[in-house]
Amino acid sequence: MSFFATPAFLRLIVVAAIVLAPGITSAQSGYTPPLWEVRSGENTVYLFGTIHVGKADFYPLPAAARSAFGKSDVVALEVDPTDQQAAVSATMSAMYTPPDSIENHIDPALLSSVNEVCARYGIALEQVRQMKPYLLMFMLTTLEYQRLGYSAGEGLESHFVQRAHEQGKQVVALESMSGQMQILDSLSPELQSAMLQITVDEITNGEVVDLVAEMIHSWRTGNMNNLGAVLLAEERRLPDAMAREFHNRFLTERNAVMAQKIERMLLGGEKAFIAVGAMHMVGEDGLPAMLSARGFEVRQLR
């Protein structure tokens, strides 16, 4: 996703709710986040695995990322995070129409847990009862990351859009916020409840800080094998059928569509810097692997 930050399980959705731990700065050695060069003949595009939240000490980005951005005329993101109208429209589509409410869609025990977590942030259940489970996940996790001092406003998508506008680069969206919400809305009710349950449990048990820290080293060093292993471990918390449903609907199918759009950029001669959630870069159905399978020369940069 684009405008929400998430803990553990939702790293699979947006991926990339990977944030810098206190005391770690971009000046340290080993800061080489996921970056690839993809070539087709004389044309080159760059893939950058993003994180959706951050702090000021993310910046400046490493030289390789700044160089790749500078060489590009087009900046392609999952969605444009500055499009507030699209964000509002997508959010409204993730709300129940009264008199329907979330009480009718999750079991009483989970509802009670949601109520307890909301109380941590000074929010009454009445204020969120129209939210569908996936929107409620996003709200709770956004609040938890804000509590820990992280901000979507300092995330990389916002950074790249701002720099693109300053430098006169074209910004394009590979997806739409409403399309992403439609995918979430199409997930089975059982999977939506399971995802909300995992999120509530992780906040309740205080797991978020440790789970984030577990991700940091792999992202910062661009170690996709380790990053993928951590993310797959999270996916295994779901029953097999639900894990397959989620992975296929929210990763494999989306990656295939994005890979097709990136292929058109390559063949059309567009000099593009493509920044999407890091989970879209992982594994045999990740973007680097898909583009390599299509015959392009793919090289991870260090």
Asked if residue 160 belongs to a domain, the reply is: yes
Asked if residue 271 belongs to a domain, the reply is: yes
The reported pTM is: 0.85
266-277, pLDDT tens digit by residue?
999 999 999 999
The CA distance from 59 to 249, in Å, is 33
Asked if residue 2 belongs to a domain, the reply is: no
pLDDT for res 27: 41
Asked if residue 27 belongs to a domain, the reply is: yes
pLDDT for res 30: 60
Determine the average pLDDT of the residues in 188-214: 89
Asked if residue 44 belongs to a domain, the reply is: yes
pLDDT for res 115: 97
Asked if residue 226 belongs to a domain, the reply is: yes
103-143, pLDDT tens digit by residue?
999 999 999 999 999 999 999 999 999 999 999 998 998 88
50-95, pLDDT tens digit by residue?
877 777 777 899 999 999 999 999 999 999 877 888 888 888 999 9
Query: How confident is the prediction for the chain on average, in pLDDT?
Result: 86
pLDDT band at 24 (very low <50, low <70, confident <90, very high): very low
pLDDT at 2 over 60: no
Percent of the chain with pLDDT over 70: 89
pLDDT at 40 over 80: yes
Count of domains for the chain:
1
Residue 161's domain spans which residues?
8-300
Asked if residue 1 belongs to a domain, the reply is: no
Asked if residue 267 belongs to a domain, the reply is: yes
pLDDT for res 19: 34
